[in-house]
């Protein structure tokens, strides 16, 4: 099951994503599926291609979830990325937080702050929590997961170096594109995680190369802090990160889940 959050110009709504040949439809749900069963209303909306003008006019995908309390991120969870950043692989997960004000959706602009000149993309698999999760075991951890989505952990590298703490470098507004939807059936054990900039492949890793897998991460984080419905965990990025600037377009993809792209914008 794939759950999308969308708008047609009014308040955000949720829908199930249905594929019929080369056409995609949104089966509209009543309410928020994080808090109630996913009950279709009977309304269906075609999700088309904005460039070709197909589909229902005005429909736009949003970030599939706005985290209720927090986004918990895992740093250096791929050995090749740790090496390219000049660091060792942590012996335990390296955790940091992003605020929910960083979240944007598919095709939303990532706006570069004036105070940074070195902004980088990071393609990641994101985990969406379904229910209150505290002190769970790795064996039971996946029962607390609603599903998975694609994330871009946009980072101000210069601020990351100078600040020591990563709050500003990782948490600025628009620094977390999420989308295009939540997939409840994805097996996260071994799928490709890729990024492209202006159509050129930059990252191409696999979740099987993560130092700490999804069940361990959910368990480890739940020992430190209570995870709430709608909270999001970013699982780390593979090697190949690089810089973007005004006019670039970033695309991030998780195999079997989908892709999402965002333009990069700097106010002149």
pLDDT digits (tens, 9 = 90+) for 11-34: 999 999 999 998 999 999 998 998
pLDDT digits (tens, 9 = 90+) for 153-199: 999 999 999 998 999 999 999 999 999 999 999 999 999 999 999 99
How do the domains of the chain map onto residue ranges?
A: 2-61, 71-266
Q: Which residue has the higher pLDDT, 124 or 88?
A: 124
**8 A C-beta contact, residue 131 and residue 218:** no
pLDDT value at 268 more than 80: no
pLDDT value at 50 more than 60: no
Mean pLDDT of 255-263: 97
Output Rg (C-alpha) for the chain, integer angstroms. Answer: 18
> Residues near 45 by Cβ (< 8 Å), separated by ≥ 6?
6, 8, 15, 25, 26, 28, 56, 59
What's the CA gap between 63 and 259, in Å, rounded?
A: 13
pLDDT digits (tens, 9 = 90+) for 159-169: 999 998 999 99
- Alpha-carbon distance values, 247 to 10, 48, 123 (Å): 29, 24, 19
**Nearest C-alpha neighbor of 15 from the set 49, 40, 47, 50:** 40
> Residues near 173 by Cβ (< 8 Å), separated by ≥ 6?
101, 102, 111
pLDDT value at 98 more than 80: yes
Tell me the CATH class for 71-266.
alpha beta
pLDDT at 49: 63
């Amino acid at each position: 099951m794939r759950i999308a959050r969308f708008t047609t110009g009014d308040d955000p709504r949720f829908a199930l994503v249905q594929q019929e040949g080369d056409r995609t439809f949104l089966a509209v749900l009543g309410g928020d599926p994080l808090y109630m069963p996913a009950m279709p209303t009977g309304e269906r909306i075609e999700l088309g291609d904005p460039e070709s003008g197909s589909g229902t006019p005005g429909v736009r995908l949003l970030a599939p979830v706005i985290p209720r309390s927090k986004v918990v991120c895992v740093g250096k969870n791929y050995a090749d990325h740790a090496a390219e950043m000049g660091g060792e692989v942590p012996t335990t997960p390296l955790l940091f937080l992003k605020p929910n004000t960083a979240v944007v959706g598919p095709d939303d602009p990532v706006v570069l702050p004036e105070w940074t000149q070195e902004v980088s993309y990071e393609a990641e698999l994101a985990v969406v929590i379904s229910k209150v999760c505290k002190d769970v075991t790795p064996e039971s951890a996946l029962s607390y997961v609603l599903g998975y989505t694609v994330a871009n952990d946009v980072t101000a590298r210069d601020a990351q170096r100078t600040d020591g703490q990563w709050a500003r470098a990782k948490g600025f507004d628009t620094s977390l594109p999420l989308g295009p939807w939540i997939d409840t059936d994805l097996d996260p054990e071994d799928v490709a995680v890729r990024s492209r900039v202006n159509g050129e492949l930059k990252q191409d890793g696999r979740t099987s190369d993560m130092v700490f897998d999804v069940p361990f991460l959910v368990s480890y984080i739940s020992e430190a802090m209570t995870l709430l419905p709608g909270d999001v965990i970013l699982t780390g990025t593979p090697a190949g990160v690089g810089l973007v600037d005004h006019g670039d377009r970033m695309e991030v993809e998780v195999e079997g889940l989908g892709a999402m792209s965002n333009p990069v914008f700097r106010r002149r």
